[in-house]
A and B are shown apart, each in its own frame.
Chain A
Amino acid sequence: MHIHKYEKIWLTFGIGCLIVFLTVVGVSAFAAGQQPPSCLTTIDPEKVDTTPPFDHPGLVKKGDDEYELNIVVAAFSFTPNAIEIPKGAKVTINVTSKDVIHGFEIPGTNINMMVEPGYVNSLTTTFDKPGEYTILCNEYCGAGHHMMTARIKVVE
């Protein structure tokens, strides 16, 4: 099979870029720990209300400036739906669903994860800017999907 000289140059350049790109993505994933939310913990979706920590959803202080925020998601609400978080605190958000698949997104931040029945999903973040943030569901879950929202207030 004959490959034109220019095409060889073009493909070498393209494949080279691809290797560099995938290396950057791989290093930031495995060396710098920038992995997408992929929590492996399972839970019985019908017993969420009696399974810790979701039996008492809300913000829990875990250490100096370290918090855990446990949120139960169900059609069409987040529990709790009004949350205050101190600015600059390290917050681990754990979410699970009692019914169908939902999304957990805070527009204006990189907080975005899928919430699926039977699984806990989790990510750790820090809110550096005070103000009001909106949590919304970004995976279709039924007639009230677009009404599903909650607020986070980041305070000094």
Chain B
Amino acid sequence: MVNSLEKVDRRDAKLALAYLFVAFTALALGGFAGLLQTLVRSGKFELPAGISYYTILTTHGVLLGLVLTTFFIIGFQFAAVSRTTGALSDGSRRLGWIGFWMMTAGTACTAFFILTGQASVLYTFYAPLQAHAGFYIGLALVVVGSWVSGFGMFAHYARWRKAHRGQASPLLAFMSVTNMVLWLICTLGVAATVVFQLIPWSLGLTDRVNVLLSRTLFWYFGHPLVYFWLLPAYMVWYAVIPKVIGGKMFSDSLARLAFILFLLFSIPVGFHHQLLEPGISPFWKYVQVVLTFMVIIPSLMTAFAMFATFESYGRSQGATGLFGWWRKLPWGDARFFAPFVGMLFFIPAGTGGIINASHQLNQVVHNTIWVTGHFHLTVATTVVLTFFGASYWLIPHLTGRVMTKAMNRLAIIQTIVWAVGMTFMSGSMHFAGLLGAPRRSAFSTYGNSPQALEWIPYQIAQAVGGTILFIGIILILVIVINLAFFAPKGETEFPVAEAAAPQERAALALENWKLWIGLVVALIVIAYTVPLIDIIQNAPPGSKGYKLW
């Protein structure tokens, strides 16, 4: 292959590292907030100096759910685009930096209002709880900044395509662009409620807010958000892991097809977060439930592709028998081991997701801590362990260093610590949730209610898990700081896999963006037009703002 393509340009590396730096800072602070929450909820510990549980909870959700993920993803994708389609143009890189500073300024602004107790509204900021306007303005800056970065990627991709007419774009670039298209379309919803409803209302320019409309716009964004987190993990699984283990990608075109299916079916599905709400007809809820379940198809494709890659590689190394290939996998390589453990956790995580989105079963678990347990498996284990696994080659690649054997060993330990901690924490959250323990609530026995007393042993187990996970956070920070500043100088590969059948050309129709974006819009229009008109036309009197914390 062409040599100049194998290394991320130094200037692009600096850009990507800036994003990763903010991401890991958010992990440190948000992770500490998470530790405090599990301790409070055990009932054995109280926050000092009158600090509110809900301030800490808002900090945790915003820093880990929104900041860590978005910054890591954009940094990773800039590196992936630069690695596979060549150094960014000055214009694209400038957009990347403008986006970075807007997002960082927005994060600082939002964090200031959360930490000063003026925005304890959690990361979902449901109206009519009303935070300080600065909280919403900061969030809007984060979102708009991410769009600017996205345009930087789009411009670079368009330039590559113009220069390579008739060719399929490199897989990682295609996937990055798909994920940013998904992000751009879904964030329009949250931007609409923040900019047109919540900012004017919190500034006092409008008195009242349409609560259900605001929630609906939020959840139009809230579910695709989780796919925006997940798809970069899938990029690593599809396009990097096969190379890490020394094998080939199972199929380039099926990987692209899976991404297009995610783009189509992750947006018109927000109602499955609103199944128990008044004001939305059950027919439209069911329509969106059906659309929600369509993402199972690309998920099944991904599971097949992963295990096909692993088995093909094992057999190419002489493995025999049904499961002999299992022993040929590089278990001692953290770049493989961390994402692999993430994949295993996705099996219960995905199953839980199917339960949550089921039209009727949702009523058993809605707003219980089961849901918290669920997304600590999906985003906080599957996605995050994959991001950690990617950091083990991405950071040294970008900083011109190499990961030592000792750090690799520490990374394996980190993965095990994370898996054990999460099994305790998320496992007990699932059980307590089935017994009815609510999510997002400080410790309470609800007046010594016999039901609430049943939850306490699980809450103690959550604190044990949370403490183990915090050790995991310290370990990953040690590794990341080492890779960024102290590891020995050298060359680290940015692994990019080749397809098992390179002669098979990816169908160019998969890059027909007019077609796919048109289809996404059509699905959104079908799923949302009638219920949105209902919500607006039959709206009750709006709500004024409340500060109840």
Residues in chain A within 8 A of chain B (CB atoms): 1-4, 6-7, 10-11, 14-15, 18, 21-22, 25-26, 28-30, 34-46, 75-76, 99-101, 103, 105-108, 110, 112-122, 132-134, 136-147, 149, 151
Contact = CB atoms under 8 A, between A and B. Distances in A.
Among B211, B275, B276, B449: residue with most chain A CB under 10 A: B276
Given A36-B362, A107-B437, A145-B441, A7 B275 contact: no
Contacts of B251: 2, 4
B358 interface: yes
Among B257, B436, B443, B452: residue with most chain A CB under 10 A: B436
Contacts of A120: 278
Nearest to B290: A22
Q: Helix, strand, loop or mixed for chain B's interface?
A: loop
A36 to B, nearest CB: 4
Given A42-B279, A108-B435, A146-B441, A101 B362 contact: no
Given A14-B297, A38-B278, A99-B546, A134 B449 contact: yes
B525 interface: no
A116 B293 CA distance: 27
Contacts of A46: 541
Contact of A2 (B122, B289, B367, B501): B501
B388 interface: no
A137 B251 CA distance: 49
B444 A100 contact: no
Nearest to B448: A134
**B-side interface size class:** 35 or more
B515 to A, nearest CB: 16
Contact of B276 (A30, A112, A149, A151): A112
Contacts, number: 230
A57 to B, nearest CB: 17
B126 interface: yes
B538 A40 contact: yes
Contact of B300 (A11, A107, A121): A11
B367 A100 contact: no
Given A1-B253, A1-B254, 16 more contacts: A2-B253, A4-B308, A22-B293, A25-B289, A36-B363, A40-B278, A75-B546, A105-B367, A105-B368, A107-B435, A114-B278, A114-B366, A118-B542, A140-B441, A143-B54, A145-B54
B362 A147 contact: no
A99 B538 contact: no
B278 A136 contact: no
9 contacts: A1-B254, A11-B297, A11-B304, A18-B293, A37-B277, A46-B541, A110-B363, A118-B541, A151-B449
Contacts of B436: 105-108
B294 to A, nearest CB: 8
A121 B367 contact: no
Among B257, B507, B549: residue with most chain A CB under 10 A: B549
Interface in B361-376: 362-364, 366-368
B212 A118 contact: yes
Among A3, A41, A43, A114: residue with most chain B CB under 10 A: A114
Given A100-B128, A107-B435, A110-B363, A146 B277 contact: no
Interface string B246-267: 0000010110010000000000
Q: Which 4 A-B pairs have the closest CB atoms?
A: A107-B436, A142-B548, A118-B540, A119-B278
B296 interface: yes
Contacts of A18: 293, 296-297
A35 to B, nearest CB: 4
Nearest to A96: B278
Nearest to A106: B436
B250 to A, nearest CB: 8
B367 A103 contact: yes
B360 A28 contact: yes
Interface string B192-226: 00000000000000000001100100000000000
Contacts of A76: 548
A56 to B, nearest CB: 21
Given A105-B436, A112-B366, A132 B297 contact: no
B184 interface: no
Interface in B418-468: 435-444, 446-447, 449-452
B481 interface: no
Given A34-B360, A100-B129, A103-B438, A143 B282 contact: no
B435 A143 contact: no
Given A10-B304, A138-B367, A146-B442, A36 B275 contact: yes
Nearest to A131: B450
A36 B441 contact: no
B5 to A, nearest CB: 26
Among A15, A37, A75, A112: residue with most chain B CB under 10 A: A112
B444 A14 contact: no
Interface in B530-549: 538-543, 546, 548-549
Contacts of B504: 1-2
B98 interface: no
A72 B93 CA distance: 55
B358 to A, nearest CB: 6
Contacts of A105: 367-368, 436, 438
Given A107-B436, A141-B548, A14 B300 contact: yes
Nearest to A147: B444
Contact of B359 (A10, A25, A112): A25
A13 to B, nearest CB: 9
Contacts of B54: 140, 142-143, 145
B546 A136 contact: no
Contacts of B289: 22, 25
B522 interface: no
